Amino acid sequence: MPPTPPAPAARFIVLFDGECVLCNHWARFIAARDPRCQFALGQLQSETGARLLAEHGVPADQSSIVLLGPAGVARKSDAILRILAQLPMPWRLAAVGWVVPRFIRDAAYDFVAAHRYRWFGRDEACALPTAAVRARLLT
């Protein structure tokens, strides 16, 4: 059975580390603040996630969020800022982070990514997604 495509309204696909507690909170954050349902969510570890990464020529790096959208592929801090720029106010204001050079933003992103399991934990079992997240999940 082929994977279910994102909802027709989804213009962006966010791939995140499904084992990371911080990443799962981020996915719930997006779903709760996306009234236009423009984001579909998928786990990097899933079959669909692996296929999408391969189709877009993105390395299978579990330590980076990946955003697939009309403007192409974004990873790390670029992905975070592009996501925030699409959310309604006041979250859109956080996109002012573009003024910080990428090498600084990505260094901070890499630091948090390297410590995320120790600081926030790891989901040992698949958490039950909220209805908002479930409606956006790629299968």
Q: Does 4 map to a domain?
A: no
pLDDT tier at 2 (50, 70, 90 boundaries)? very low
- Contacts of range 121-126, beta carbons closer than 8 Å, 24 or more positions apart: 121/21, 122/19, 122/20, 122/21, 123/18, 123/19, 123/20, 123/21, 123/24, 126/18
User: What's the pLDDT score for residue 1?
Assistant: 41
Please compute the mean of the pLDDT values over residues 25-34 and round it to a whole number.
92
Structural domain count of the chain: 1
Would 7 be classed as within a structural domain? no
Q: What is the pLDDT of residue 64?
A: 85
pLDDT tens-digit readout, 82-124: 999 999 999 899 888 889 999 999 999 999 999 888 888 887 6
pTM: 0.80
64-87 confidence digits (pLDDT tens): 899 999 889 999 999 999 999 999
* Residue 39 included in any domain: yes
In this structure, is residue 139 part of a structural domain? no
Give the SS3 label for residue 89.
coil
Domain of residue 35, residue span = 12-134
Task: Examine residue 127 and state whether it is found in any structural domain, yes or no.
Answer: yes
Residue 101 lies in a domain: yes
Give domain status of residue 117, yes or no.
Answer: yes
Question: What was the pLDDT predicted at 116?
Answer: 87
Flag whether 1 is in a domain.
Answer: no
pLDDT at 63 over 90: no
- Tell me the C-alpha distance between 124 and 68, whole Å: 27
